[in-house]
Amino acid sequence: MERLDRGLLLGLALTGLLVAAAARLEMAERPRLDKIHEEELLYYPSGFAVRQAALGYETAAADIAWLRGIQYYGEHRLTDQKYELIGHVMDVVTELDPAFQEPYVFGAFVMAQELKQPERGLELLERGIRANPTNWRLCFEAGFLHYVCRHDYATAAQFFTWASRMPGHDPFVDRFAAFAHERAGDRGVAILLWKQVLATGNSYMQDVARHELGRLGEP
Amino acid sequence: MSRERDDSRGKQPWSAEVQGRGVMREVAPLPVLEVNAVAKVYRDPMTLKPFTAVEGISLSLGGGEIFGLLGPNGAGKTTTIKMILGLTRPTRGTIRIWGREPGDRAARMRLGYLPENPCFYDHLSAREYLGLVGSLFDLASGTARRRADELLKRLGLEADARKPLRKFSKGMTQRLGICQALLNEPDILILDEPMSGLDPIGRADMKQILREERARGATVLMSSHVLAETETLCDRVAILHRGRVLEMGDVRGLLGAGVIEWEITVDAISETAAARLRGEGHRVDGAGRGWVVRVGESEELQEVLRGFTKDGVSIHSVEPRRPSLEEHFVRTIQESGAGSP
Amino acid sequence: MNRVLAIARNTIREAVRERLVLVLGLFGFALLIGSQALSPLALGEGRKVVIDFGLAGSMLLATLLAVFLGSSLLHKELERRTVYAILAKPIRREEFILGKFLGLWVTTAALLAAMAVILALVVTVSYGETPWSILGPVGLSVMELGIVTAVVVLFSSFTTPALTAFFGICAVVVGHFAEDLRYFASRGAPPLARAITETVYWTLPHLSVFNARGLAVHGIPVEPARMIFALTYGMLYIAALMIFAGTVFRRREFR
């Protein structure tokens, strides 16, 4: 009995030591591991291939990719504000779940605002519109990008009008359709658009909206 | 198929004398069980080498008899039984139960089976298991429950009826086995090593039950490798060895007449009584509950029995021991061994 | 039919008293709680995440239960020889196998349904509205479970638990892959390969037919026409598999 107890204690102590050593090792390697973890996002092959691997759990897989994408954005927001992979990740998410609206909106937003690549953002949105022809929000967001990023007021007006023709759209869409036609180029419209983002966007988008409104002179 | 009992109930079934492998059968009313020149050859799946488990076995059983299928381990008893039950198909030969194929549903409705070293669903209780068996026989649940309770009581398992079977000892499982075999009030009982796992009291009880079944007109086919205890039970036996029938016939015929000694099974006797009996030259074995006293001469038997009655000792059974079947069997095997290729 | 139900009832009893069911049930519960924890990270899409993970997780667990419980189902009986006493009774081999299948299907479907109920409760409590749209997809998933269970029972009637589990998982993978198999084959494969692939494609169960989980979270109800088609297709497939299993089991010898 004596020998058993000592053996047991020794075994537990050794296990504890080894686990602590492994943890310490990992802590030292953390920065490099984090970079690798992120590079994994690159290794998401095209959405089509992930779809095959998902084996019937595509929407859940889309959610996992979405969560990873959010995490990626959040981390880089706090560090270097570089979001190169966001387009790729949102591509994967939307390939897996084409009806998932938020990735189109958020992805396009980040690419246009942060990466200063509104064309890529619009490409994503247009893919979303093709997959969801009756989704007014995507049309509206496309109009938004054309207005504030590309300053293409005519196209923006067109998108706002399309959105206003779709079933179930929110009332503000009609107002913007009207404004955009009447007052192409008006700073007032831009402010109203940003205020709309403040009202309806997710927390990241709201932050950007506040910043932009400040820039435009609105409190 | 009529449910009435076979007419030959109670009458001594005809017997056949066997020399080596040949069987002489007399013409008789439709036998209950007919096994005709049945063989089972297994092939090793890897080497394709054939292995003969059973070769040319023929039997015929009528109603109201207890037939023993005897032989050492590996003789082919269980294989034969499995073929009778339809668990395996014979390579050659035919088997008929009341003229029907082994898998026939109507035949199985009247059949009771106790496997060797039985194992039952251990997540169920005894009563639940018997309930399951009852539904397999299409018994109304009330009937099944009533019969189950009766059988559990008869086999001394009443107190354990609700216990899960995984908590059952080997003896208890064996007794449950006979319960599930009797649940449908079968006309033919097939028992593979029914005595295994039972203590002497249990074995005596089992023998009593089988005798009662025979009196009811049922046919009992039992296999055993313990020849001594089946000797007194079976009307006819077949001795198997290496898949063949060496001898078949009624026990007395095979062994000849004459009693060597008497075996008395009793509940308990005091140490002084045991010592006294030993002093008189009798063999006394046992401890606690379940003693066996062996008395040589018939006259002494009366003495001893009177003594027990006077002492108030509870006597379970008294059985004659003839020139033992075991001795006969060993001799037969040795003889056949010398002659076989 | 009574006999089949008796075996089915017994199989359910056995499964329920088996620890595996409890463990998987707990896992399922943990999953639902866990996905709740993830929802704040999902940037407003918490409801979608909970429903997606809930549906995917419960289906995955139920499938795993079907594969692992089913793979040992018959093997345990054969090893412990419990099946001898049963098959000597007036029950046909096919009835026995069918009873086993039904018992296993009911058990796994019950696990799936229970988790779906918990999911609906969690979503209702956390997000205010009850996700009725999961009913259709769960129904289809039950059918999918039926096919997987039938495959597992078929294999367990003649091969080892390990192989049965392997083939069961293969069936799930290939069942979902079937469409893409055909697509890849049609792209420039030699005619013989294409013919073989076509044949294989049509004989395999197309499990994607039963996958409506994506609809649930977007609140799109499953069309009745699709439900009817899927249920019919599933029943036909299950019947085919069970007949085959019965035939195989009938020929089986017990040494």
How far apart are alpha carbons B178 and B194 in whole angstroms? Answer: 8
- Residues of A168-197 as b/e, b for ≥16 C-beta within 10 angstroms? ebeebbeebbebbeeeeeeeebbeebbebb
For CATH 3.40.50.300, the residue range(s) in chain B are 18-257
A68 φ/ψ sector (left φ>0, alpha ψ -120 to 50, else beta): alpha
End-to-end CA distance of chain B: 45
pLDDT in tens, chain A (219 residues): 566 688 888 888 888 888 888 888 888 877 777 776 666 666 666 666 666 667 778 888 899 889 889 988 988 888 888 888 898 999 999 988 899 999 999 999 999 988 899 999 999 999 999 999 889 999 999 999 998 888 888 888 889 988 988 888 888 888 788 777 766 666 777 788 888 888 887 888 888 888 888 888 776
C-alpha distances (whole Å) from A32 to each of A28, A55, A67, A68, A82 are 9, 32, 21, 18, 18
Q: What is the mean pLDDT of residues C201-209?
A: 82
How far apart are alpha carbons B28 and B26 in whole angstroms? Answer: 6
Contact C124, C41 (CB under 8 A): no
- Look up the ipTM and state it: 0.84
Put simply, whether C49 touches A (Cβ < 8 Å) is yes
Q: Indicate the CATH number for domain B261-321.
A: 3.30.70.980
> What pLDDT does residue B1 have?
38
> What pLDDT does residue A52 have?
65
Q: Domains of chain C: which residue ranges?
A: 2-251
| Cβ neighbours of B184 (radius 10 Å) | 22
How far apart are alpha carbons C25 and B17 in whole angstroms? Answer: 65
Global confidence as pTM = 0.77
CB atoms C81 and B117 under 8 Å = yes
> What pLDDT does residue A205 have?
83
CATH architecture of the domain formed by B18-257: 3-Layer(aba) Sandwich (3.40)
Q: Which two tokens stand for residue A88?
A: 């790729």
How far apart are alpha carbons C16 and A201 in whole angstroms? Answer: 48
Chain C touches chain A, with at least 3 Cβ pairs below 8 Å, answer yes
Question: Which of A57, A72, A94, A202 has the most C C-beta neighbours within 10 Å, making it the best mutation to test the interface with C?
Answer: A57
Question: For residue B167, what is the DSSP state?
Answer: G
Q: Tell me the pLDDT tens digit for each residue of B58-81.
A: 999 988 899 999 888 888 899 999
What is the SS3 string spanning B121-166? CCCCEHHHHHHHHHHHCCCCHHHHHHHHHHHHHHCCCHHHCCCEHH
* Kind and range of the H or E run holding B8: none
> What pLDDT does residue B79 have?
93
C-alpha distances (whole Å) from C252 to each of B176, B296, C245 are 27, 53, 11
Mean pLDDT computed over every residue of chain C: 86
> What pLDDT does residue C173 have?
87
How far apart are alpha carbons A55 and A49 in whole angstroms? Answer: 11
- Kind of pairing between the strands at B219-224 and B92-97: unpaired
Three-state DSSP class for C87? helix
Q: Looking at CA atoms only, how far is residue C13 from chain A in angstroms? A: 31
Q: Looking at CA atoms only, how far is residue C73 from chain B in angstroms? A: 12
> What pLDDT does residue B4 have?
38
How far apart are alpha carbons B228 and B70 in whole angstroms? Answer: 11
Show which subunits contact B, needing at least 3 CB pairs below 8 angstroms.
C
Tokens 């998982």 sit at which residue? C169
- Kind of pairing between the strands at B188-192 and B219-224: parallel
Show which subunits contact A, needing at least 3 CB pairs below 8 angstroms.
C
What residues of C are in contact with residue B82 (Cβ under 8 Å)?
254
> What pLDDT does residue B338 have?
47
CB atoms C3 and B111 under 8 Å = no
Chain A touches chain B, with at least 3 Cβ pairs below 8 Å, answer no
pLDDT in tens, chain B (341 residues): 333 344 444 333 344 444 444 555 444 457 889 999 999 998 887 888 888 889 989 999 988 899 999 888 888 899 999 999 999 999 999 999 999 999 899 999 999 999 998 999 988 999 999 999 999 999 998 999 999 999 999 999 999 999 999 999 999 999 999 999 999 999 999 999 999 888 888 888 999 999 999 999 999 999 987 777 787 889 999 988 888 888 888 887 777 655 667 888 888 888 888 888 888 878 888 876 778 888 877 778 888 888 888 888 888 888 877 667 777 777 777 777 644 44
Q: Smallest Cβ distance to C43: which of A58, A62, A203?
A: A203
DSSP string, B73-90: TTSSHHHHHHHHHTSS--
Q: Tell me the pLDDT tens digit for each residue of B175-234.
A: 999 999 999 999 999 999 999 888 888 888 999 999 999 999 999 999 987 777 787 889
pLDDT at residue C172 greater than cutoff 80: yes
